Amino acid sequence: MVFSLSHCIFAVRNFDYKILQTMTTLLKSATIIDKSSPFHKQTKDILIENGVIQKIDDTINPSENTQIIELENLHISTGWFDTSASFGEPGYEERETIANGLTAAAKSGFTAVAVNPNTQPIVDNKAAIEFLKNKATFSATELYPIGALTQESKGIEMAELYDMQQSGAIAFGDYNKPISNDNLLKVALLYAQIFDGLVLSFPKNKSIAGDGIAHEGVNATRLGLKGIPALAEELQIARDLFLLEYTGGKLHIPTISTKKSVELIKEAKSKELNVTCSVAVHNLVLTDKELIGFDANTKVTPPLRTQEDVNALVEGVKNGVIDIITSDHNPIDVEYKKVEFAIAKNGTIGLESAFSALNTVLDTETIVECLTTKPKNRFNINTESINEGEKVNITLFNPNGTFTFTEDHIYSTSKNSIFLDKELKGKVYGIFNKNQLILN
């Protein structure tokens, strides 16, 4: 990477650089991927002063004291937003602190993350929401808390939704925990309409899933692993959609994983129900064949499914039935992963590998849309266009080139990545947001 400051040119590798508030920066030969921008798919020089895009042109000659950024095959888009990230703090700081998690997110290309409430204590009140917001005040990556839908995420009593919304919560859901009580979800959907709240309902029927730990199918049978039928997800989604049709309101179904789930949501959208859904990166890329070898990093919720399911999920993203892609970043301590598969905790980190894994199955424009416009619109997050006069909120990346993903590419405290030793495509350079430039 080559930078110039005034007349001095120097090369820097593996750095973490924050731009000064008064610094002027020039991005050279950046290909813009932003459908809302008049410069979409054009390669331009971009001049940024005090965090605002001042000029976009074919060639811009820098003035003195301008920092010049020249990167191989540089592409930029509006900043990426991850709708499901888990950090350990408070309570599980050994997994991931908020500060380190936000740094990992920035280096992985995310200018904003929605943080799940699965901490200790659970984020189910306004004080907990304010704690998370305050911890992220000076980070280049924005933190948006998701409040628990029920008290202590126990699925019994509804949490203080309105108070949390007033303090900054952008949605409400119990992370990876289904709402078994039908009436509770019905009441939540009705109540949240008072303040235009977004309700999340994790798609899993606990009675059908039982104590399964892998997708119920050929591979689980061969490996002697208790199965989780696709039906467990699909029954819950069908129930949620019936309730939504009855109550109205706004429903988001996180991390679907089966072909039938895509079909159910497609049908609901045809009825003009206010429903969206997301899919985790690993469920778009990997199948339950990964279970061979009993690597606990492949133990995730929902489980990895079949190739038929993966194909349907990819097609669902392409045709717009699936609105959002998430890393579903979930750090787990090594002592809970370096154990027998059956007793290992579920979850994989995903921020660092998200783009390069997606880049193996989807085109760049589709990836960008599912990480920017669609999730930001659904979670009511402002989106800046890449245009003159706009605040800079961008992700810098290179969609070309392949590499093997190793622990050297991980910035998270925990190393439980499902993509270790996988060949991925493309490179994230970093972000420019809140007048801070962070590059790898």
> What are the catalytic residues?
328
Q: How far apart are CA 209 and CA 193, in angstroms?
A: 31
- CA 8: distance to chain centroid? 38
Contacts of 58 (CB under 8 A, 6+ apart): 44, 45
CA nearest to 81, candidates 273, 221, 278, 275:
278
Instruction: Copy the structure tokens of residue 340.
Output: 């027998």
- Contact (Cβ atoms closer than 8 angstroms) between residue 421 and residue 405: yes
Contacts of 386 (CB under 8 A, 6+ apart): 32, 34, 36, 37, 39, 46, 53, 56, 76, 77, 78, 394
- What is residue 119's DSSP assignment? S
CA nearest to 247, candidates 191, 181, 173:
191
Q: Tell me the pairing of strands 2-5 and 8-11.
A: antiparallel
- CA 291: distance to chain centroid? 24
What single letter denotes the amino acid at residue 285? V
Q: How far apart are CA 317 and CA 332, in angstroms?
A: 28
Q: How far apart are CA 118 and CA 328, in angstroms?
A: 13
Q: What is the DSSP string of 60-115?
A: ----TTEEEEE-TT-EEEEPEEEEEE---TTT-TTT--HHHHHHHHHHTTEEEEEE
- Beta-bridge partner residues of 325: 279
Distances (CA, A) of 233 to 215, 239, 266, 268: 11, 10, 15, 16
Instruction: Copy the structure tokens of residue 362.
Output: 């989807």
- The helix or strand, by DSSP H or E, that contains position 122, with its residue range, turns out to be none
At residue 209, the 3 state secondary structure works out as helix
